[in-house]
Structure 1
Amino acid sequence: MTQFKIAFFDIDGTLADNELSHELGILPRIPASARAALRQLKKNGIEPVIASGRNHLMLREFATELGVESLVASNGTQVLYKGKELAIHPIEPKTLRATMAEFDRQKIRYIIETPERFLATSMEVATKDAAARYIEYVNDIQKLPQNVVQLIVRMENRHHLQLENNSLIAEKVAPVVMDVHLAHVSKATGVYEILKKLNISPEEALAFGDEENDLAMFDVVGYSVAMGNACEALKSKAKFVTRKVGDNGIWHACEMLGLVK
């Protein structure tokens, strides 16, 4: 089998068990076996990297405790290697304003995300969202913040999000959440940027995921693992389907691949 040098992990539904209450936070939802797997991988020369739709501020809170130093954050719109920014892909202001205006017209509520800030024009979103402690409520946005990488949309009663500008994509990252970002950017581009930085070939990389926004990531690594709780589309693409998160799925996959013991 190929000697892997790097492993990319999604968080929600992959490292963290989504069947447990989100009010617990992320770390308490990560099984001890998954933490042990990350430690053993690193000890064996396989660098663990988190690849998530979440912002780096949220990821850094627990990444250090997991021994993870590099991040593909916000669906690849920001990439950090060893804590330093490697790449950032913000939405062009004109496109952003037009999209926000259309969402406002349709009464679609959203959060504006930059690497350092979250803004919401809805008080309810700002105070009741799962990430409420990060979100600033603003009554009106006269001046857009710099480097807006995503709009986070809660779908509520909607099943589809129509975007007028084809330079953007709406990507499902949770059952009722979609992230809107540049269409040419994804976890896959973030993975590629890190592989290029480290001069690692795709065949020497593996990835673990559970949701639709992991599909592109699976295309750019040599080996892909879908969790037992993953969506069917991802299971169909994966080279291996492991157990559910809460059933020690990460450890089981690493053990089956001979990466831990």
Structure 2
Amino acid sequence: MIKLAAFDVDGTLRERDYLPDSTRAALQLLKENGVALALCTGRSEFEVVSLREELGIDWAITCNGSHIGFRGKTVFGNAFPAQTVRRWLQEAERFGHGLILYGSELMYTNQRENPYFVQAQQEIGFMEPVLIQSIDEVPDIYQAIVFCSEQEEAAYTGGEHNRYYLHRWRPWAIDINPGGMNKAVGLQQLLDHLGISSEEVAAFGDGLNDYEMIESVGYGIAMGNAGEELKEKARFVTKPMKEDGIAYAVNEWIVK
């Protein structure tokens, strides 16, 4: 019996502002059948609060697993050392790179008009970050996005990829999370807190940062719009998001 369903956001629950009515109905059906819901996303708590509240979801695993919130309040968090974030800000200043830093309540940036941020905002949507005024007053940061090429990322990772969880989602943009973190780790932390076995969980995703999560649960479900690498790891492959993929999976494999 499935006790919890975890959902990636972009490309899984919604695309920009489009969220199928069938998905809303499927989530309601899950709740009526006693299934707890959680978001599990690379985005920040700040960015998904309106979606979480709109859908009546209490739990959000954000920043690729580095932050877990209940109704917007931090329950667990694995933040970078402040000195690491300060060093990144100095490197970004030196190379002219844009940074987006995810805190528990706000997003921060060192450049308001970075062209890559503007492009990402147009392609997938981002809320407006707050401009960092001083590197001496850095809040807890759970994820960084660096707008740089693969060849330039060593300035931030030191060339030691094992020190961090990395997800390059554009040739010019990379997520950096604390080492050992990914969506599966964050989800497992929530399951331990709730006393739920991973075999009692369904997880939905479409991107490479969903790879570990899909592999770690009893019902790993890849969206029809996912890449082949993720589909090969999934227990089930449903229809694409825009073709009622969530509703199809819920009715076919979870609520029968």
The alignment's TM-score, normalised by the length of structure 2, stands at 0.87
Deviation at 1:214, TM superposition (A): 0.5
Partner residue of 2:179? 183
Q: Which residue of the other structure, out of 62, 70, 78, is the alignment partner of 1:89?
A: 78
Work out the CA distance in 2 between the residues paired with 1:191 and 1:58.
19
Out of 5, 9, 21, the residue aligned to residue 7 of structure 1 is 5
Distance 2:56 2:249 in 1: 19
The answer on whether the counterparts of 2:165 and 2:182 sit within 8 Å (CA) in structure 1 is no
Match of 2:131 in 1: 137
Change (3 A) 1:83 1:98: closer
Q: Percent identity?
A: 30
Residues 66-90 of structure 1, C-alpha deviation per residue, up to 9 Å, x if partnerless?
A: 1211110111111023544220111
Question: Are residues 1:58 and 2:47 paired?
Answer: yes
- Partner amino acid, structure 1, of 2:8: D
- Maintained 8 Å contact 2:150/2:171: no
Partner SS state of residue 75, structure 1: helix
Unaligned runs of 5+ in 2: none
1:72-87 matches, cutoff 5 A: 72-87=61-76
Tell me if 1:118 matches 2:107. Answer: yes
Cα distance per residue 1:154-177 (max 9 Å; x no partner)? 35xx35633215422321356864
How big is each residue's C-alpha offset from its partner over 1:29-53, in whole Å with a ceiling of 9 and x where there is no partner?
1100011100000100111110011
* Partner SS state of residue 174, structure 2: strand
Q: Structure 1 residues 204 and 133 mapped into 2: Cα distance closer, same or farther (>3 Å)?
A: closer
Q: Which amino acid aligns with 1:8?
A: A
Q: CA deviation at 1:242?
A: 0.9
Q: Distance in 2 between matches of 1:232 and 1:148?
A: 32
CA contact (8 A) 2:41 2:63 kept: yes
Cα distance change on mapping 1:114 and 1:82 into 2, 3 Å: closer
Give the root-mean-square deviation of aligned CA atoms: 2.3
Q: How much has 1:153 moved relative to structure 2?
A: 2.4
Distance 2:20 2:51 in 1: 13
Which whole-Å CA distance do the structure 2 matches of 1:81 and 1:136 have between them?
Answer: 23
Is 1:151 matched with 2:147? no
In structure 1, the residue corresponding to 2:114 is in which secondary structure?
Answer: helix
Question: Judging changes above 3 Å, is the alpha-carbon distance between structure 1 residues 34 and 132 closer, same or farther for their aligned structure 2 residues?
Answer: closer
Q: Output the CA distance in 2 between the equivalents of 1:176 and 1:63.
A: 29
- In structure 2, relative to structure 1, the CA distance for the partners of 1:112 and 1:232 (3 Å cut) is same
Could you give the per-residue CA deviations for residues 202-223 of structure 1, whole angstroms, max 9, x where no partner exists?
Answer: 1001100000111111232111
Contact 1:52 1:187 in 2 (8 A): yes
- Is the contact made by 2:2 and 2:254 (CA closer than 8 Å) also made in structure 1? no
**Any idea what SS the aligned residue of 2:212 has?**
helix
Kindly state the Cα deviation for residue 125 of structure 1 after the two structures are TM-superposed.
Answer: 3.2
Q: Which runs of 5+ in 1 are unaligned?
A: none
1:200 corresponds to which residue? 196
CA distance in 1, matches of 2:225, 2:194: 31
* 1:20-31 to 2 correspondences below 5 Å: 22=16, 25=17, 29-31=18-20
35-44 or 73-82, which moves further after superposition? 73-82
Q: 1:111 to 1:65 in 2, by over 3 A?
A: same
- 2:134 is paired with a residue whose SS is coil
Aligned length: 246
Q: TM-score, normalised by structure 1?
A: 0.85
The answer as to whether partners of 1:38 and 1:67 remain within 8 angstroms in 2 is no
Instruction: Give the letter aligned to residue 220 of structure 2.
Output: S
Secondary structure of the structure 2 residue equivalent to 1:229: coil
Contact 1:37 1:254 in 2 (8 A): yes
